[in-house]
Chain A
Amino acid sequence: MAIIELKNVTMSYEGSRVINELSISINKGDYVCVVGENGSGKTTLIKGLLGLKALDGGEIIFGEGLRKNEIGYLPQQSEMQRDFPASVKEVVRSGRINRKGILAFFGAKDRKICDNAMKKLEIDHLAHKCYHELSGGQQQKVLLARAICASEHLLILDEPASSLDVGAADEMYEVINKLHDEGMTIIMISHDIEKALTWADYVLHLGNQKALYYGRSKDYKARAIEGGFWERGK
């Protein structure tokens, strides 16, 4: 059974259609990479999955006992406030909030999960630093740690490596791969198609409001060249 199934999903902004009747299903343990030109609707689709934006039509079905609030999300880097006082620990820990009742106080178990997440991403020595005084790569790792704290099943990552230099980006992809090896289902948007093809099992190529390609990554290149959309994945 699929962990997420999209049936005829349609989304638009003020009347202009971005995604039209998209139907795909993603299985537990898959590593799906979403590619497509700027503005092809990758972020929009993910916002639909997360319930941040309403669908105009179709439905999204969660399977495998996945609950809606058990998704770890790494937003596309938006301009965050430069002077926001928040320590790394506070940011990571805020990922646990979805597991708490009305009175969200963190206990020993939460602390342990956060510590483990920070160790896994090798940022535990930064725990008491201010988030905004970190490098871009370190910041992304902190946000990834927060996402891990929110879910042990499914991560949705919107361009986790877009603002990083080559070294930091590779490190990021390796960490994500490690998480996938441990059984995490991963949906990742990426601009780097070559990297996507090396790491991901599946590629979803969005374009013209639909899926130009959705299937195994090993078959993607041939189909994309044949279909004339190879260059447009970047």
Chain B
Amino acid sequence: MSEIINAIFTYGFLSRALIVGLLISVCAAVLGVILVLKRYSMIGDGLSHISFGALAFASVMGFAPLSVALPVVAAAAVLLLRLGGKKIKGDSLIAIISGSALAIGIMLISYSGTSADMNSYLIGSLYAISKNDMAMAIVLCMCVMIVFTLLYNRIFCITFDEDFASATGIKVNLYNTIVAVLIAVTVVLGMRLMGALLISSLIVFPALSAMRVFKSFMAVTISAACISVISFLAGFFLTLLWDGMPTGACITLVNLIIFIGLSIAEKVRK
């Protein structure tokens, strides 16, 4: 263990990965609470597929990955959260858009023959992130957390009762759009850590676990963040102990264990 801690301080990339991972875990967990409560769990999944398509496009074209993926996914998130449920039913809309984006991404990558990228986007790896992207990720995560904290009370009011919120003059659409953008940023950043296949579990699991035990919004939000951090740290160190283990899969399994544990605890308490 002490060797690992030494290594983190010795190798810059390890400590950077640790910081980014922690920040992303917290962002994903707090936004996950809102997605779960709004019954939009599938949106995380859909956005990750869109993000995959956008990242593939960027890497084939030689653009900076985040500068392509962020605006595309943000636009998709706004579209899905606002239009979802109007013309086409929400989940079928997600399926259509995300499926197409995934297909386009796979086509592009196969065509250009860089399968290494495909793996890192699908499975995720903290060490695949460049120094520049890392700095940007840290800044963006901080922004997500600050905006969420500042708007926390409004977000609660809207999530709990949209009609009451707009009756009291809150611009519900504006705040839903802001939340959509925050989610998009988190998904794009989180994809590098978790991979397109597992990012939605980083978003949804901590919230579901926290809701097993806690019954107030504040408690659920804070404990979801804590659960997410614990899962990340566990996943991170397991990956270092056993070389070659994928971080995302480790984090998800730790989350699953916490979820099962808390579910049992809830049953026993009743």
A interface residues with partner B (beta carbon < 8 Å): 50-52, 68-69, 71, 73, 75, 78, 80-81, 83-87, 89-91, 93-95, 97-98, 100, 102-106, 128-130, 133, 146, 150, 156
B168 to A80, Cβ gap below 8 A?
Answer: no
**CA of A83 to CA of B39, assembled, Å:** 11
* 0/1 interface trace, chain B 143-181, chain A, CB 8 Å (1 if under): 000000011111011001101111111100000000000
Given contacts A86-B217, A98-B168, 19 further A-B contacts (CB under 8 A): A50-B166, A50-B167, A51-B166, A51-B167, A69-B168, A71-B168, A73-B168, A80-B161, A85-B214, A85-B219, A86-B160, A86-B216, A87-B215, A87-B217, A94-B164, A95-B164, A97-B154, A98-B169, A103-B150
| Interface check B211, CB cutoff 8 A | yes
A52 contacts which of B153, B163, B217, B220 (Cβ < 8 Å)?
Answer: B163
Query: A102 to chain B: which residues have CB within 8 Å?
Result: 150
Name which residue of chain A comes closest to B220, CB basis.
A85
B215 contacts which of A85, A103, A150, A156 (Cβ < 8 Å)?
Answer: A85
B215 to A133, Cβ gap below 8 A?
Answer: yes
* 0/1 interface trace, chain B 198-230, chain A, CB 8 Å (1 if under): 000000000000110011111110000000000
- The answer to whether residues A130 and B167 also contact, given A84-B37, A100-B153, A106-B153 and a CB cut-off of 8 A, is no
Query: B150 to chain A: which residues have CB within 8 Å?
Result: 102-103
Query: B218 to chain A: which residues have CB within 8 Å?
Result: 87, 90
Query: B210 to chain A: which residues have CB within 8 Å?
Result: 85
**CA of A104 to CA of B215, assembled, Å:** 22
A68 contacts which of B39, B165, B169 (Cβ < 8 Å)?
Answer: B169
Q: How far is the CB of B120 from chain A (nearest CB, A)?
A: 36
**CA of A51 to CA of B216, assembled, Å:** 30
A150 to B214, Cβ gap below 8 A?
Answer: no
Name which residue of chain B comes closest to A67, CB basis.
B169
The 9 closest A-B pairs by CB, nearest first: A69-B169, A130-B215, A98-B168, A87-B216, A94-B157, A73-B167, A104-B153, A50-B167, A85-B220
A150 to B160, Cβ gap below 8 A?
Answer: no
B170 to A98, Cβ gap below 8 A?
Answer: yes
B161 to A75, Cβ gap below 8 A?
Answer: yes
B216 to A85, Cβ gap below 8 A?
Answer: yes
Tally chain B residues at the interface, Cβ within 8 Å. Answer: 28
Q: How far is the CB of A162 from chain B (nearest CB, A)?
A: 16
**CA of A97 to CA of B155, assembled, Å:** 10
**CA of A50 to CA of B169, assembled, Å:** 9
Q: How far is the CB of A220 from chain B (nearest CB, A)?
A: 28
Name which residue of chain A comes closest to B219, CB basis.
A85
- Residue among A51, A75, A89, A94 with most chain B CB within 10 A: A94
**CA of A102 to CA of B171, assembled, Å:** 11
A94 to B153, Cβ gap below 8 A?
Answer: yes
Query: B166 to chain A: which residues have CB within 8 Å?
Result: 50-52
Name which residue of chain B comes closest to A130, CB basis.
B215
**CA of A215 to CA of B217, assembled, Å:** 44
Q: What are 23 of the A-B contact pairs (CB < 8 Å)?
A: A52-B163, A52-B167, A69-B169, A73-B163, A84-B160, A85-B211, A85-B214, A85-B220, A86-B156, A86-B215, A86-B217, A87-B215, A87-B217, A91-B160, A93-B153, A94-B164, A97-B154, A98-B169, A100-B153, A102-B150, A104-B153, A104-B154, A129-B215
Query: A97 to chain B: which residues have CB within 8 Å?
Result: 153-154, 157, 165, 168, 170
